[in-house]
Amino acid sequence: MSVSVTPHAIGESLDRLEGPLKVRGAATYAFEWPVDDRAYMYPLQAEIAAGRITGVDSANAVAVDGVLAVLTHENAPQLADAGDAEIAALHSPEVAFRGQLVGALIAETAEIARDAAGLVRFEYEQRAHAVEMKADSDDLAKPDEAAQFGAGGGELQNGEPADTELGDLDGALAAAAIELDQTYTTPMHNHNPLEPHAGIAVWDEEEGLTLHCSSQGVHMVRMQLAGAFGLDPSRIRVISPHVGGGFGSKVYPCSYLTLATMAAKAVPGRPVKFALTRQQMFSLVGYRPPTSQRIRLGADESGRLTAISHEIVQQTARVKGYAEQIGACTRTMYAAPNRRTTHRLDPLDVAVPTIMRGPGEASGVFALESAIDEMALACGMDPVEFRLRNEPEAHPESGLPFSSRHQVECLREGAMRFGWQQRDPAPRLRREGDWMVGEGIAATVYPSPRLPGSAASIRLGADGRYAVRIGAADIGTGTWTTLTQIAADALEVGVEVIDLEIGDTALPPASSAGFSSGINCWGTSICAAAEQLRAKLYPEHGGAVPVDGLEVTAEMPDNPDMANYEMYSFGAQFAEVHVHADTRELRVPRLVGVFDVGRVINPKTARSQLLGGMTQGISMALFEDSVVDPRFGHVVNHDFAGYHVAANADVQTIEAH
């Protein structure tokens, strides 16, 4: 056996291995798999925000030439489990939010399906609805009161408690030499990955369901659909090797996949293709919930925090609860002996929120860091120095040591690279023509979680090639490349002899691509499999590969240190911001970010992710805002003409270190 040894596969800035496929248009996305005798599905959506369907007239649609079937709650297959509102579709006449799926058209062409969909008429019995979040609502409830929100609802992500309290917060605030009490709000933000939610479903009475879909976790999709339809998971195969962006919207299966499965069962043997329109995605694929966050800070004369309180109200759906750990950043970032965080949900007649681009942290760090800036000003201190002065030695609430914490280094390095000391600290004094110029700083934090359920297999063939197989996902982050590098490094071979397979339930199970946990979980599983293979190859076979090859499968091992340490990444971001004196137009000509990210697998792909995250920060702060019409319950700016995501013209100089 002849292999090339590449001892530094981890840490090399390799070009993306799947890059040539993507630029040639040869990477197969969900809607693009070649299938014969295909049919097309177009979803039907509710036109009221709350109530029930009292009548359906589909006669005109059925009469259209080329229409194969019309599905509604009156004729849809009965679900074995309709308890999860994100999965259930067409199981009852009840309408929980505007835009809810209430039917589907299946036709010979996409054009016929969409045209005929407009001929189906629904009659409704409406009830009064509420779609505007109110921080003082009488219906506020703790997230762990799951019974109020339906099956699976309400708990915070990552096992975070809804509320925490240490010390005497009220007493400390009353005694503080300097006190801040401010409320910060964030609006609803909608998911808009470049690739819309799409797929192809094929139902075979003997084989079961084959589903090509855009997914951040194929095994989760299979598990959820198997439960909904009462199928053995082995009768469902989900395939998703390339994903055109996810950002959290493709982690949890949504009701449109249930609808696609029903459509496939209505025309057995024929592939049914579907792709949500941009407008449909504003009601069917989840969103970041709006929040209201009251932060109270107390400090002594030296600028040391004595009290921190973060009280959060966030929107959720009445049909199913969803809660983000918005206050987790406040539990981690700064030292103070007296502290409190609370989370409350306002259940409304809206679609279910979901994970979106740093769920919890994105909203929570904005409010916390805004308050920290204002407190530094109140204390008469430099914002960087104020943060350094309140750096904790251990986790402020658990008391556990950090596995690593380089927040101080990030702040100091960022200040040096940005030229922070040369800024004019007084507001609105520096001008460049008609533009007021200022500089800002924010620290940031993100957990380093491990999600259970990953395993990897490696097969070494007699030709010296290694087939590395795991049901992971590449949502555009570079997983195809980085997992290949990890495998090559663990096996002490060159990346050119690694054949990686991902994105298929025919492969060993893998956790979903969420919470920035993928490389941690999948890479650890691959390393475990590589260790087993090497042990099997050398002690058992003396380094000689049998004619029929060698294969091992290993599950992700436990990390006992996770119980003994707090594990996070940290960072500091510096921004130069221009505000037009007359129009108040905002521009961000320069961002500098310094990040404590742990071990970097591929500097090129890692830097790309950091640049993307900073761009999303510009987008969240300046542009993205979903406007809901309270009369009807829908997002009115539900396309790229009204909902702007930061583009090249909005982004100037970004440095990520």
Of 495, 491, 501, which Cα lies nearest the Cα of 602?
Answer: 495
298/102 Cα distance (integer angstroms): 51
CA distances from 392 to 198, 330, 436 (A): 46, 12, 35
Gap between the Cα atoms of 322 and 335, Å rounded:
29
The bridge status of strand 178-186 relative to strand 236-239 is unpaired
Both tokens assigned to 156: 């915070």
Residue 159: per-residue pLDDT: 72
Residues linked to residue 237 through DSSP beta bridges, in sequence order: 210
**Stretch 3-19: mean pLDDT, rounded?**
79
DSSP string over 509-535 = P---S-TT-HHHHHHHHHHHHHHHHHH
Q: Which of 390, 391, 330 is nearest to 596 (CA)?
A: 391
CA distance linking residue 66 with residue 319, whole number of Å: 36
Mean pLDDT throughout 131-152? 73
Rounded CA-CA distance 335/144 in Å is 27
Residues 6+ apart with CB under 8 A from 624: 187, 189, 190, 643, 644, 645
pTM: predicted TM-score of the whole model, two decimal places: 0.95
Q: Distance between CA 346 and CA 650 in Å, rounded?
A: 34
Structure tokens at 549: 């090859």
Q: Tell me, what DSSP letter sits at residue 252? A: S
DSSP E strands: which ranges in 86-220?
94-95, 101-107, 121-126, 164-166, 178-186, 189-190, 198-204, 208-213
Q: What is the pLDDT of residue 158?
A: 64
- Pick from 364, 314, 354, 320: nearest CA to 137: 314
The token pair at 368 is 């916390």
User: What percentage of the chain carries pLDDT values higher than 90?
Assistant: 93
> What's the confidence (pLDDT) of residue 7?
52
Tokens linked to 640: 């790229």
How much is the pLDDT for 391? 98
DSSP-assigned letters across all residues of 465-513: -EEEE-----SSSSHHHHHHHHHHHHHTS-GGGEEEE-SBTTSPP---S
626 has a pLDDT exceeding 90:
yes
User: Is the per-residue pLDDT at 139 higher than 70?
Assistant: yes
Query: What pLDDT does 8 receive?
Result: 59
Taking residues 592-621, report their average pLDDT: 96
What's the CA gap between 230 and 640, in Å, rounded? Answer: 39
Q: What pLDDT sits at residue 151? A: 33
202, pLDDT greater than 80: yes
pLDDT, tens only, 387-417: 999 999 999 999 999 999 999 999 999 999 9
Residue 147: predicted pLDDT: 31
pLDDT at 112: 98
Q: What is the band of 157 on the pLDDT scale with cuts at 50, 70, 90? A: low
Lookup: tokens for 67: 């229409």
The confidence score (pLDDT) of residue 145 equals: 52
pLDDT digits 0-9 by tens, 228-264: 999 999 999 999 999 999 999 999 989 999 999 999 9
**Average of per-residue pLDDT values in the chain:** 95
424-466 pLDDT tens trace: 887 777 899 999 999 999 999 999 989 999 999 999 999 999 9
| pLDDT given for residue 156 in this prediction | 64
- How far is 542 from 183, CA to CA, in rounded Å? 67
The pLDDT tens digits of the residues spanning 286-300 come to 999 999 999 999 999
Model confidence at 1, pLDDT cuts 50, 70, 90, reads very low
Q: How far apart are CA 483 and CA 525, in angstroms?
A: 10
| Residue spans of beta strands (DSSP E) within 258-398 | 272-275, 287-288, 291-299, 305-317, 338-348
pLDDT score of 621 more than 70: yes
How far apart CA 544 and CA 87 sit, in angstroms, is 50
| Alpha-carbon span 312 to 409, nearest angstrom | 30
